[in-house]
Chain A
Amino acid sequence: MTPVFIEAVGLAAPGLPSWQESRATLRGEARFEFAQLSPPTPAMLPPNERRRAAPVVKLAFRAAEDALLDTTVPAASLVTVFASAYTDLAILHRICLALSAAPRLVSPTDFHNSVNNAAAGYWSIAAGARTASTTISAYEGTFAAGLLEACSQVLVDECDALLVAYDLPGPEPLNPAQSLAHPAAAALVLTRQRTARSKAALSCNPTFGPETRLEESTLEQLRLGNPAARSLPLIQMLALQRFGSVVLPMSVGANLGVELHSP
């Protein structure tokens, strides 16, 4: 596949609160500590939407807004790909509870927030983005599937794109504790043309090679505890300003081979 350019990175995970604050940790220069993530306070959401938006949407916003700090590409012009394996488990839980009671009173706000493209919808309103937007899900391959779609958007539809992967643990008894142990979100701004801010050129292709693991064991634990954190091998390379290849888990059959080159 023809390369696209990584313009900006956003992060929000325990111990990795933002891209700027996490680079030293990802480079191994600072000790990684599993510090709890503070509640996100999305700056871009208008007050009405901030009241209505669910915590998982705010988590997605946190990584997306973090990525936008590092680019001059206007948010309104970016095509968006939102990627989440579980979307909103808290709403699913509340709706299923309501449906198991009598009378069955589903909250209208919960229902309109229950669509899996809720984060995309709020983002389009907040950013004034009338662009194409897709919301993707693929188990542990969610980030890679989103990355592949975002690259296809950039290359085929000739646009710049924002990819946001995010997953937030849900309440008991619904939360899949092993595969969703902590919150995490990661975002990339991808551009078609090289810019002065380009961090790397990225190309990706399906592969049957095994997925790349992280050497540092607590970081590896973080990677395995949230589908959005499956992005970390790629983001670590960007923090190290290192070029080369990583393999991310993608779908039922293939993984995704990602190659980073000097921009």
Chain B
Amino acid sequence: MNPLRISHYTVSSAVGAGRAAHVEGLRAGTSGLARIEFDTNTLDCWLGEVRDFDVPLTGSLAAFDCRNNRLAEFALDQDQFVEAVGQSRQRYGAARIGVFIGTSTSGVQHTEVAYRSRDSGTGALPAWLDQRHTQNIFSVAAFVALRLGLAGPTLAISTACSSSAKVFAAASRAIAAGTCEAAVVGGVDSLCLTTLCGFNSLQLVSTDICRPADNARQGISIGEAGGFALLDPQADSPLALLGYGETSDAYHMSAPEPGGRGAIEAMRAALARAGVVPDEVDYINLHGTGTVANDVAESRAVCEVFGTTTSCSSTKGWTGHTLGAAGAVEAAISLLAIEHGWIPRSLNTRVIDPAIEAAILLDTRIAPVRRVLSNSFGFGGSNCSLLFGRLT
């Protein structure tokens, strides 16, 4: 494929609001994860909460008011992203810019609260619950399109934890097919009891802080985040999406294939689409959830494609696993690494699991970074690898 230029991007996670906060936090090695109270959660775990965003939506978009769309609004509001989209809108027209947003649970937390407020006699849900504009999967995509004043093809992609990686692939295809000139892509997922108690029912939530690739890792720490990018083939930005690879494990609904076959094929497809060989990749941002199964299978897959010398790290020790937003968050971190010339270490990793042979970085490295591969894998065996790079 032709490299697809990325003219603007932003990210907000537990690390902070916007790009500068992420550069600072990732260089300093301060995790955004904390043992904090959330909603009525009683699980003993670490959470990656975005700070100070929970402001009600008002005005013409008030119907969309819920935690997830508040987070979308907060994330859009950083790094002059709205202004950058406005310039593209003037250039191409609102109808020629598509909107592709990944989320796993959208505003389900709103419905959780409504269920706790049901009428004790009839079981009826409270009248204030507007599922369409809050909990529905498309809600966040509709909100983003309306907030940015865009009228091109708009859709939500929901493939669990690969959701907001796959939006880059779908938008790239839509631009190549000519259905839009440019696209806003992004991912937004917010803390909710569904994912906390759900992952806990599968014994995947760690009581310890998330320690990707560590010998004593116990599982994930759940985080929330919003990240967006503006893809514009005519932009003069040096940053670009070089390739994408998407595959299915066809193996199990919630366990990765132990040999990492689907992940191998996704990474190889991303490289092939870009015309890049493994040695030309400077850094791999791993899916690296911190579960026993994921980290071993992913390492096997990485070693099969790249050997054991390409620098790798998961940044989930900083952000937690932001689920449907992880692809967009880690795309932003990949782009920051390219722009600023440094490779983040695997935070909270003390002793690397001997079964993990990939070159996990225990110390942040200052080095020129030209190309980064970012992995996102989800339940249902959904794999997506994205290759980002700097064009000359």
Contacts and interface: CB of A to CB of B under 8 A. Distances in A.
Given A100-B112, A124-B250, A251-B154, 6 more contacts: A130-B265, A133-B246, A155-B177, A206-B152, A253-B94, A253-B95
Nearest to A205: B179
B147 to A, nearest CB: 11
B338 interface: no
A135 B95 contact: no
A113 interface: yes
A2 B178 CA distance: 9
Contacts of A80: 248
A206 B382 contact: no
A96 B112 contact: yes
Given A253-B151, A254-B95, A117 B202 contact: no
Contacts of A132: 169, 246-248
Output the residue of A97, A136, A205 with the most chain B CB within 10 A: A136
A134 B160 CA distance: 11
Contact of A121 (B104, B153, B202, B380): B380
Output the residue of B138, B156, B160, B254 with the most chain A CB within 10 A: B138
A64 interface: no
Contact of B174 (A97, A121, A152, A172): A152
A107 interface: yes
B80 interface: no
Contacts of B132: 139, 176
Interface string A150-163: 01110111000000
B82 interface: no
Nearest to A112: B254
Contacts of B249: 124, 130
A116 B158 contact: yes
A139 B138 contact: yes
B123 A173 contact: yes
Contacts of A128: 250
A121 B382 contact: yes
B380 A118 contact: yes
Contacts of A43: none
Interface residues of A, number: 69
14 contacts: A1-B178, A111-B202, A112-B254, A112-B379, A114-B198, A120-B380, A121-B248, A121-B253, A125-B251, A130-B261, A132-B248, A135-B157, A139-B142, A145-B155
Q: Top 9 nearest A-B pairs by Cβ distance?
A: A253-B151, A121-B380, A111-B198, A116-B158, A132-B246, A124-B248, A251-B154, A152-B173, A112-B254
B173 A117 contact: no
A151 B87 CA distance: 29
A206 B254 CA distance: 36
Contacts of B159: 115-117, 120, 133-135
Nearest to A86: B136
Interface of A: 1-2, 52, 80, 85-87, 92, 95-100, 104-108, 110-118, 120-122, 124-125, 127-139, 141-142, 145, 148-149, 151-153, 155-157, 172-174, 176, 205-206, 208, 250-254
Main SS at interface, chain A: mixed
A115 B179 contact: no
Given A117-B382, A250-B153, A98 B173 contact: no
Contact of A116 (B114, B137, B194): B137
A13 to B, nearest CB: 22
Contacts of B261: 130
A250 B94 CA distance: 15
Contact of B124 (A112, A136, A173): A173
Contacts of A142: 138
B179 A1 contact: yes
B197 A104 contact: yes
A104 B155 contact: no
B212 to A, nearest CB: 22
A208 to B, nearest CB: 7
Interface string B122-140: 0111000001100111100
Given A112-B379, A115-B380, A138-B138, A96 B115 contact: yes
Contacts of A106: 194, 197-198, 200-201
Contact of A253 (B123, B154, B169): B154
Contacts of A116: 104, 137, 158-160
B173 A112 contact: no
B381 interface: yes
Nearest to A137: B137
Given A128-B250, A138-B141, A173-B125, A153 B173 contact: yes
A39 B160 CA distance: 27
B181 to A, nearest CB: 12
B111 interface: yes
B153 to A, nearest CB: 6
B198 A95 contact: yes
Contacts of A174: 111, 125, 131
B166 interface: yes
Contacts of B176: 152, 155-156
A130 B248 contact: yes
Contact of B380 (A85, A100, A117, A250): A117
B359 interface: no
A252 B141 CA distance: 9
A46 B247 CA distance: 21
A130 B250 contact: yes
B253 A52 contact: yes
A99 B193 contact: yes
Given A108-B202, A252-B151, A208 B118 contact: no
B108 interface: yes
A174 B252 CA distance: 29
B170 interface: yes
B116 interface: yes
A104 B41 CA distance: 10
